[in-house]
Chain A
Amino acid sequence: MTHALRGRRSVAEPGRSPGKAVLFLLPALLILGALVVYPLVYSLFRSFFDASGSRFVGLSNYVETFTDPRTLIAFRNNVIWVVVAPVAVTCLGLILAVLTERIRWATAFRLILFMPMAISLFASGIIFRLVYEEDPERGVVNAAMVGVHDVFASPSPYPGARPRSEFDASEDGYTGTATVSRGGVVSLPLVGYSRQQLPDSARPVSQPEAGGTEVRGAVWLDVSAGGRPGQIDPAELGLPGLTVELLRDGAVVSKTMTGDDGRFTFPDLGPGEFSVRLPADNFALPFRGLTWLGPTLVTPVIISSWIWIMTGFAITFIAAGLSAIPRDALEAARVDGATEWQVFKRVTVPLLAPVLLTVFVTLVINVLKIFELVFVIAPGSVQEEANVLALQMWQVSFGSGGDQGVGSALAIILFLLVAPAMLYNIRRFRRERS
């Protein structure tokens, strides 16, 4: 008993000369005190004062924090981040680490996957900002989507063009409000399309003559210098290759295509009233990809870029853990007839559990503090929708008006959220050592 006590005390005592120990610890203590403890305590203190820092306001900064809709959105986004991002990165890291273990150029492969970690978050943010740009001429993702899309769907001949007037727009296209019977003529002046983009085959348009059992007409671009709206002017060109439909009582009875001079003819018609329709697929706007950085997709997009950056980190740690697993355990399982999937599920993962947990918790801490990526990737118009706590803290403190009281309150809340994860990690490290 006494022996045990003495033994334990010998661990706890600083040694023969406590004075010397304190001397050695002093620099570290001073630095820690000045750079960690003092700011922490001061932030707590500051969070009870108003914007100017002179008036004590009690908990009202905290009340404001929890009633500000912007902060609530930031909270929601942080929850999404914590739920999705660390799990995704840990799983991806595990899968890639196990897979790369078997290949010949494992180190080279891992090195490449680790490279994003070497780029600053700010720079990565700029890269992804460009990758997800909406304009397909600048954004790689939308360029790829447009490329794939256009292989399967050919673009419409006259995107964006529309009749000048006297037409009802519907999902099917533009239907003329006036009706026509056989022998009649319809003129369809279109606008909203650039003359420079017309096909070379386009010829000047002329007024068709009425007569016979036919309905004749012309579709032309009603834009020219000094041109009269709705009238055929000398310099105006017909629109070739445009589909025109003839309707009776809402049903398509005939379909034709315009010639180089924009003229079309529906031959051999019976009696009755018809209307003319320009189907919508003549004018469908080209596919431009998705608005990745719009309000709905912005958070998933930023999370995806974070996953790209952090996967290398997870692989490195998990691969180190993998190499520490005793080979014989795996061999024994295989000898017992376990499939590779069973070996992975029943042996590898349980043996890796401590490593996986450490990686996961570290990522959670990292995710809670996420700032740069959101700041750089989200355009100003959706920053509110993409907001996270750390960014909100910065904006409240420095970005807008400088209310460092509320900012400090947010900092303390963020600290309280991160602290459990930190404590958990520290305790685990200690347990592992003992």
Chain B
Amino acid sequence: MTRFLRNLAIAAHILGLGSAVSADTQYPAKPITWIVPFSAGGGADTWTRILAERAEIHFGQPFIIQNMPGGGGVIGWQELLNRPADGLTVIHASPTPIITLLSEVQPLFQPTQIKLAGYLGAYETLLAGHANENYQNWDGLLAYAKKNPGALTVAGTNAPLISVAGIFKEAGAEVTFVPYQGTSDAVTDFLGGHVDLLAGTTTSVIGLTSSEINILLNASDQQLGDSVKDSLGGPLPPVASELGFSASANPRWVGMHPDTPDETVAKFSEMLGALLADEQVIAQISATGEEPGFAPADIAQERYGNLVTLIDNSITLLD
């Protein structure tokens, strides 16, 4: 295989494509630093550590993981912008820093200051409710909410609340949002019956389903993963985008400095795709309860743009 590549490089050189190809084959010449803008132990951190175990096989270089928490995920992003645009530093984040930047009156920089290298799977926001006689499903819930404006309370952290806020707005239903700082507090108050509905990520909501608790809506643009479908057993909740709402799943995204050359981004994205297809990586990520997936740079860039617009439109709805 290596001999084949070398021969190919020699052939390319003879054909006068030398400089461009050799620059490409050299990347990455050094270990790649992954900035995780959150503290150790979270979702992005766990994923990155799983990826790093197989990095050398697919990239020919190890990954250096750097946790840079703080500033709502923006400190790590700022660090990326301060480093050279050579593709040797990337950031792996969730929508959190985007929300931080968009909720600031005078942000340090815009969330568009990034070149996407890929989406590593995306998780849905689910809306769950207690079993009761007023509503059994999404349609019933909407009808009840329209009849009783503001009466229903929805608990959740900021990111899932933003995901459902836009949908309620588009449906013309008024509900009361009760923001929490941690998912567990929101889940506790929901289970205790202190709030009516819970908006949360798939992993945090799926374990709660029982005869007492129903999932009413999948507030995203993708179907639930197979393992989640299995553990759910019964009928699947409707997908918001299929009902005609503008909705998006929350991605785990990997980005590079906005000035990084397109060829470097493409090269990185290709290797990243191979890494995500590695069987060991898939097995370990699945064990955390999430579904690995991959969207390459160009597709990720487009979906990212839509996500930023969506968050920007929904963020004021929580006030």
Q: Do A and B bind each other?
A: no
What residues make up the interface of B, taking CB atoms closer than 8 Å to A?
none
